[in-house]
């Protein structure tokens, strides 16, 4: 059986760049579809499944960040890679705060775009495997802290019976912390461990976003703790395997 190609929606109002990106993605064995505006993108996603979105920030009428934010607040976990012509650090932070999983500044090398997409899709595919019948949850390693339970093999976060939606970047970060629970991880260590390209303030934003999903009061964390001048630590209660 032929392996299914990942389907990428590229939202870019520059017709020439959009055409080049679609051609390049197709040459790399992806299936790609283009949209020149958020309105057109919304029409594209009706009844069509996409594995990832590549979204330009500066779009007519509605910005790419507004589109990403609306997806994430609506519970959509599809990875979003944001493109912008502005290279200011603040722009990157705004992009990550909107829910973007990764961020690239124009101009960029197409090969780097494919690499970033591959990393995002690898994380997303790992999460999708968790709902397939052939997966065996009995072998999954579990990390428990407070009311939360993180399945390190499936990449799933549950609070009680509720499964919590995670972006690829949040899952990436939580996987790093659960791989070394109760251990302080420095910024450098996290940057080396993570698939997502994050450092500096971008990492601070990612930690803050993850805390909002873990902590009853993110301003006074009790699970994802800050070690001033050293880094962060996830304080866990139990490590083990899921029982039958």
Tell me whether domains 7-129 and 137-241 share a fold. no
Q: Number of H helices and number of E strands within the chain?
A: 8, 12
Q: Does position 137 have pLDDT exceeding 50, yes or no?
A: no
The listed CATH number (3.40.50.150, 2.70.70.10, 3.40.50.2300, 3.40.190.10) that belongs to domain 7-129: 3.40.50.2300
- φ/ψ of 80, rounded to 5, equals -125, 120
pTM for this model (two decimals): 0.57
pLDDT tens-digit map of 118-136: 888 887 665 543 333 333 3
Contacts of residue 81, Cβ cutoff 8 Å, sequence gap at least 6 = 52, 53, 54, 55, 100, 101, 102, 103, 104, 113, 116, 117, 120
pLDDT greater at residue 96 or residue 150: 150
CA distance 54 to 81: 5
CA distance 133 to 152: 18
Look at strands 224-227 and 7-11 and give their pairing: unpaired
How does the average pLDDT of the chain come out, rounded?
81
pLDDT computed for residue 86 by the predictor:
64
CA distance 51 to 80: 9
Domain assignments of the chain as residue spans, ordered by start = 7-129, 137-241
CA distance 86 to 104: 10
Q: Does position 140 have pLDDT exceeding 60, yes or no?
A: no
Contacts of residue 41, Cβ cutoff 8 Å, sequence gap at least 6 = 9, 11, 35, 53, 55, 67
Q: Half-sphere exposure of residue 212, counting CA atoms within 13 Å on the CB side?
A: 11
Q: Architecture of 137-241 per CATH?
A: Orthogonal Bundle (1.10)
Q: What is the DSSP string of 174-226?
A: HHHHHHSTTS-B-HHHHHHH-SS---THHHHHHHHHHHHHH-SSTTS-SSEEE
pLDDT tens-digit map of 4-52: 789 999 999 999 999 999 999 999 999 999 999 999 999 999 878 899 9
pLDDT tens-digit map of 221-235: 888 998 888 889 998
CA distance 63 to 180: 38
Residue 11 near residue 33, CB atoms below 8 Å: no
pLDDT computed for residue 25 by the predictor:
95
pLDDT computed for residue 235 by the predictor:
86
What does the block give as tokens for 150?
């993180």
């Amino acid at each position: 059986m032929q392996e299914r190609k990942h389907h990428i929606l590229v939202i870019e109002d520059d017709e020439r760049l959009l055409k080049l990106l679609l051609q390049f993605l197709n040459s790399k064995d992806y299936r790609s579809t283009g949209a020149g505006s958020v309105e057109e993108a919304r029409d594209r996603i009706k009844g069509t499944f996409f594995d990832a979105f590549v979204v330009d920030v500066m779009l007519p009428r509605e910005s790419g960040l507004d589109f990403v934010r609306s997806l994430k607040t609506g519970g959509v976990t599809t990875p979003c890679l944001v493109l912008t012509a502005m290279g200011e650090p603040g722009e990157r932070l705004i992009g990550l705060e909107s829910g973007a999983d990764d961020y690239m500044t124009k101009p960029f090398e197409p090969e780097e775009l494919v690499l970033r997409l591959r990393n995002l899709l690898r994380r997303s595919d790992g999460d999708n495997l968790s709902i397939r019948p052939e997966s065996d949850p009995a072998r999954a390693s579990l990390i428990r802290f407070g009311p939360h339970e993180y399945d390190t093999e499936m990449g799933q976060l549950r609070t009680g019976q509720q499964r919590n939606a995670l972006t690829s970047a949040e899952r990436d970060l939580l996987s790093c912390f659960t791989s070394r629970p109760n251990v302080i991880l420095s910024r450098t260590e996290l940057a080396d461990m993570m698939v997502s390209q994050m450092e500096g303030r971008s990492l601070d934003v990612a930690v803050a976003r993850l805390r909002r999903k873990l902590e009853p009061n993110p301003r006074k964390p009790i699970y994802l703790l800050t070690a001033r001048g050293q880094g962060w630590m996830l304080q866990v209660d139990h490590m083990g395997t899921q029982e039958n």
